[in-house]
Every structure is written in C-alpha cells, then in structure tokens.
Amino acid sequence: MRLSFGMIFSIILIVIFVAFAFFAIKKFLGIQDAMKIGQFTDGLQSDVDKLWRGSQGSQEVEYFLPTNVEAVCFVDEEDENLIFHSQSFIEARNIEHIDIGKMTIDGEFCIESVKSKVKMTLQKNHGEALVIIIE
C-alpha cells in the first residue's frame, strides 16, 4: 500500500490545521477569562466609587468570575490590594477608596467564589471617608 506524495502532504496539513485550531481555542478561552476579571475589577471599582461619593450607604453586589478563580482576597500591599487566587495563576489589581486596614485585620480578607459568583456587601458609614467590604 503506497501513498502518493499529495495524500501524505494533505494528512500533514490536516494535522497542522487541527493543532492550530486547538491552540486558537485555548487562547480565546484565556482572553475570555481575562475579560471577566477586567469586568469584575471595573464593576467593583464603579460600585465602590458610587458609594464613596455619598455620605453613607450599604449595597449588596454580585459579580461573575472565571471558573478557575477560587477566591478574591483583599490584602494590604504597596500597590495592589486585590488578589485573585486560582489553581493556575495569581493576579493582583488595585481598588481605590476602600479602607483596607479595617478589612484586613488578620492580614487578608478573602471571599470564596461559588459557582463562578462572588457576593459581597459594600458599606460606608456616616462620617467615614472610605468604603469597607464585608461578606
């Protein structure tokens, strides 16, 4: 059984196209996860800013995250105060106008992701300058 050069070349091209398709799908899924994290960060910052501008208030919020994010933690670090914990990565961001000192008495304050959702309550008491986040 002899295969012609054209048949062997066609099989090689099919293998290359299939490999490229898997690579492209993996990249698109990574972009989707990055977009969800960006939407979470932007949404949280927007909600914190709205509450921060007022004199007092409380608001329960819910955000969606990628399925591989296990928890969202608030920490007292130099440039970043929000960390996403996952099996494959740890990414950090900064949220402005939150009282990280009150939230992180034990070093960090984490909220677990349940079915790709994170629920938290944003709160600002009368006379306080910053917003706190509670579970």
Q: Where are the beta strands (DSSP E) in the chain?
A: 57-64, 69-75, 82-86, 90-93, 108-112, 117-124, 132-134
Identify which of 101, 40, 26 has the alpha carbon closest to the alpha carbon of residue 71. 40
Angle at Cα 126 formed by Cα 54 and Cα 41, nearest 5°? 50
Q: Which two tokens stand for residue 64?
A: 């969606």
Instruction: State the pLDDT at residue 85.
Output: 86
Whether 103 and 61 have beta carbons less than 8 Å apart is answered as no
* Residue 113 identity: S
Q: Which two tokens stand for residue 39?
A: 């939407």
Model confidence pLDDT, tens digit, residues 62-120: 999 988 899 999 998 878 889 998 877 778 899 999 999 888 887 889 999 999 999 99
Res. 34 pLDDT band, cuts 50 70 90: confident
H or E stretch including 108? strand 108-112
Alpha carbons 103 and 16: distance in angstroms, whole number = 52
Q: Which two tokens stand for residue 124?
A: 């600002």
